[in-house]
Amino acid sequence: MKLTPHFSKKEMSCPCCSVMGMENDVIQTIEEVRMEYGKPIRLTSAFRCPAHNKAVGGKNSSSHLIGLALDISCGTSKERYGLMRHLMQHFTRIGLGEDFIHVDLDHVNKVPNVIWTYY
């Protein structure tokens, strides 16, 4: 089942229990980014239940637990640059990993307007 023209309920749901707890603001925002970017965006992590979050080494304060975060696959520096140009227009928190970009809209629990690295 499609949530938006480019993203399905399955890819937004927890992979271990299929619970879909993503906030609509995040879903609509990543769809806007996808439309502007004009190329497929592959999500590697969206909503996580507490058990799955623990299994993947997520923090207890992870924004994935409350449906406010996404991880996006990113394999090359050229791809990262292209995605970042659009992500920075819409997301207030961005984390850069070696092969992924984390984005979230967690304005209540976290400091906004930041970029950090995982390496």
pLDDT of residue 119: 84
Q: What is the DSSP string of 6-57?
A: S-BHHHHS-TTT------HHHHHHHHHHHHHH-S---EEE----HHHHHHTT
**What gap in Å lies between CA 12 and CA 85, rounded to an integer?**
23
Chosen CATH of 9-117 out of 3.30.9.10, 3.40.50.970, 3.40.50.2300, 3.30.1380.10: 3.30.1380.10
Beta bridge partners of 102: 71, 95
Q: Read off the pTM.
A: 0.95
**How do the domains of the chain map onto residue ranges?**
9-117
Q: For residue range 24-45, what is the model confidence (pLDDT) as tens digits?
A: 999 999 999 999 999 999 999 9
pLDDT of residue 109: 77
**What gap in Å lies between CA 39 and CA 110, rounded to an integer?**
30
